[in-house]
A and B are shown apart, each in its own frame.
Chain A
Amino acid sequence: MKEFAYRRATGVRDALALVAADPGARYLAGGTNLVDLMKVEVEAPTRLVDVRHLPLGGVGEAPDGGLVIGATTTNSDAAADPRVRRRFPALSQAILAGASGQLRNMATVGGNLLQRTRCAYFADPAAPCNKRVPGSGCPAVAREHHNHAVLGWSEQCVATHASDMAVALAAFDAVVRYESPGGAGEIPLAEFYLPVGRTPHLETALPPGALITAVALPGAAASPRSRYRKVRERASYAFATVSVAASLDVHDGAVRDVRIALGGVASKPWRARVAESALRGGPATAERFRAAAAEELSAARPLRDNGYKVTLARNLIAAVLSELV
C-alpha cells in the first residue's frame, strides 16, 4: 500500500474543500472497496478524507411519500429499516443479498454505488485494463470473461457493475443527491452510470470532487410487491451471476405497472424498459412474462463463454414476475 494522509472531515464543506485541495485525495466511507483496492495498489490515494462520521446517515421521509437514505447509512441499517422493508422490499432484499453481515455493517450507501468492478484483470496491476489504464487494452474480451457483460458493453471494456443495491435502486427510479465544489445536484440512477463506449475509466456522471449525500426513493415507485432475486456460483457471499429486481402491480389480471432491472449483465444496472413496455397494459400471464423477457434479451451480445447469462436472465425475469402476481 502507498502512503497517504488521513483526515476525518468535520462537515460536508470541510470534506469538499479537503478533496478539492488535493488531486490525489479520495473520500473514505466503509473502506470495504477502497481499502481492499489500495492493498493491491489499484487505488493509490495520497489522502483519505473520512466521511463516515458526517451527519449524512439515516433514513428519512420525503414529502412525496418516498424515502431519503443518507449516503453514510450503513448497508445493514438501510436493509433493516422498517420503512424500506415495507415500501421497497426489493431494496432491502438486494442489500441483504450482497457481501456478508460484517461487510454490510461497514459498507455505506454512497460507497456501495461507487464500488468498482470485480473484473479480475482490473484488480491485477500486472494486467492490461482499459478501465484502470486507459488505452492499455482489455484482456477479458479474448480471455476469461465467463462472468462479464452480455448487454451494453463495448470492445474497450466488458466488465459488469457489481452492486446488488444499485439494481434495486434502478428499478425504483432512485435519484442520487450530491454536493460538489460547483454546488449541489441530483442525478437519476438511470443516468448515474455512464455508457462504456470508448471511456470505460469514466464511470459516473458525478462532477469531480462530488460527495454523494443521499439517495432518494420516489414515493410513486413504492411497491410492497417487489422482489430481488440473485443467482450466484454459491449459495451466499458471492457476487451476482445474474440478478433481477422487479415490482409488479396487477389489476383485474392486467399489468398496471411493472419495473424490472437486471444485475450482473452490464456495466450498470440494466433497466429492462423493453420488457416493461411490452408488459404494461397486457395480461399478467407466465407466457407474456417469458415473451417480454425474451424481447428484452434479444439485444444481448454474449461473449464466447457467457451465453448462459442470456438464458439465465430470461428465466429469472419470468420467474420473479410470476412470483409477484
Chain B
Amino acid sequence: MVDDARGEVSLRVNGTAHRLEVDNRRTLLDALRDSIGHTGPKKGCDRGQCGACTVLVDGRRVVSCLMLAVAADGCEITTVEGLAGGGELSPIQQAFVRLDGFQCGYCTAGQLCSAVGMLAEHAAGWPSAVTADVSPDLAAPRLDAAEVRERMSGNLCRCGAYPSIVRAVLETAARGQVAG
C-alpha cells in the first residue's frame, strides 16, 4: 500500500475548468472519458500504438493513454468535442465529412485532433522523416501526400480510410485553415 496514491488535478478541457481527485494511476484518457464525460477520445490500444486517444495538450497532440492525469495537472486540453466552435464544424471536420475521411469512426476523433496538431507543426516549419533535407535554411517542406502519410502515421485506421484522410488533410491545408 502506498499512502499518497491519489492526487488533485486541475484541467481546462475545451475551455472549461475541472477539478478532480484521481487515483495516480488514472491516465488522462480515462480521466477525460470517465471522470469528465468526454467520450470523444477513444481507447484503441491503451499502449500508445494506435492514436485513437489523441488530444491536444497545451496545443500539442499527444496520446492521452500514456499521459497520467496527475502529470497533466494545470494543462489546457482540447478533445474532438472542442474542435467545433459556435455549433459549426471546424474545417478539418468538414473535410472529413465531405471526403469520407472515416468509415466506422472509431479512429476519427484521434485522427482529427492529430491532424490539427500536425498542421500546426507543419506551419511552424517542422520537418518530418520523409523531408529530403531537414536544413532550416531551405523553404519549409511542401505538404504532399507522402508528408501527410508520414506525419499522420501515429493514427491507425482499422477500416483503411487512409486515402480519404490524406485528401481531407491536404484539402484543409491547401485552404490555409491551419487552426482546424
Q: Using CB atoms and an 8 Å cutoff, list the residues of chain A in contact with chain B.
A: 1, 3-6, 8, 28, 30-32, 35-36, 39, 46-48, 50, 52, 76, 79-80, 82, 85-86, 89, 92-93, 96-97, 99-103, 105-106, 224, 230, 235-237
Contact B154 A79 (CB under 8 A): no
Chain A residues within an 8 Å CB radius of B134: 85, 89, 92-93, 96
Contact A36 B63 (CB under 8 A): no
Instruction: Indicate the member of B71, B126, B127 with the most A CB atoms within 10 Å.
Output: B71
Instruction: Indicate the member of A30, A80, A89, A106 with the most B CB atoms within 10 Å.
Output: A106
**B93 contacts the other chain (Cβ, under 8 Å)?**
no
Chain B residues within an 8 Å CB radius of A35: 27, 66-68
Contact A5 B5 (CB under 8 A): yes
Chain A residues within an 8 Å CB radius of B1: 3
Contact B5 A102 (CB under 8 A): no
Q: Using CB atoms and an 8 Å cutoff, list the residues of chain B in contact with chain A.
A: 1-5, 7, 23-25, 27, 46-48, 51, 54, 60-63, 66-68, 70-71, 73, 114, 117-118, 121, 124-129, 131, 133-137, 149-155
Chain A residues within an 8 Å CB radius of B118: 101
Instruction: Indicate the member of A3, A6, A39, A93 with the most B CB atoms within 10 Å.
Output: A6
| A–B pairs, 27, beta carbons within 8 Å | A3-B1, A3-B23, A4-B5, A6-B4, A6-B24, A30-B66, A31-B67, A31-B68, A32-B63, A35-B68, A36-B48, A36-B66, A79-B126, A79-B127, A82-B136, A96-B131, A96-B134, A97-B129, A100-B51, A100-B154, A101-B114, A101-B117, A103-B63, A105-B62, A106-B62, A106-B63, A106-B67
User: When A3-B5, A3-B25, A35-B66 are in contact, do A80 and B124 touch as well, CB less than 8 Å?
Assistant: yes
Contact A102 B128 (CB under 8 A): no
Other than A31-B67, A31-B71, give 17 A-B pairs with Cβ distance below 8 A. Answer: A3-B2, A4-B25, A5-B2, A39-B46, A46-B2, A48-B68, A76-B60, A85-B134, A96-B128, A96-B134, A101-B114, A101-B121, A101-B154, A102-B51, A102-B114, A105-B60, A236-B150
- Contact among B25, B137, B149 for A86, CB-based, below 8 A: B137
Contact A103 B154 (CB under 8 A): yes
Chain A residues within an 8 Å CB radius of B124: 80
Contact B127 A99 (CB under 8 A): no
Instruction: Indicate the member of B27, B62, B150 with the most A CB atoms within 10 Å.
Output: B62
- Contact among B27, B129, B149, B154 for A102, CB-based, below 8 A: B154
Interface secondary structure of A, over-half rule: mixed
Chain B residues within an 8 Å CB radius of A36: 47-48, 66
Chain A residues within an 8 Å CB radius of B153: 100-101, 235-237
A278 to B118, CA, bound (A): 43
Contact A1 B154 (CB under 8 A): no
The 5 A-B residue pairs whose C-beta atoms are closest, nearest first, are: A100-B154, A82-B136, A236-B153, A3-B5, A237-B153
A96 to B131, CA, bound (A): 10
Min CB gap B175→A, angstroms: 21
The residue in chain B whose Cβ has the minimal distance to the Cβ of A46 is: B2
User: When A48-B24, A101-B154, A236-B153 are in contact, do A6 and B68 touch as well, CB less than 8 Å?
Assistant: yes
Instruction: Indicate the member of B2, B4, B23, B124 with the most A CB atoms within 10 Å.
Output: B2
Chain A residues within an 8 Å CB radius of B73: 8
Chain B residues within an 8 Å CB radius of A106: 62-63, 66-67
User: When A5-B24, A102-B61, A236-B149 are in contact, do A85 and B127 touch as well, CB less than 8 Å?
Assistant: yes
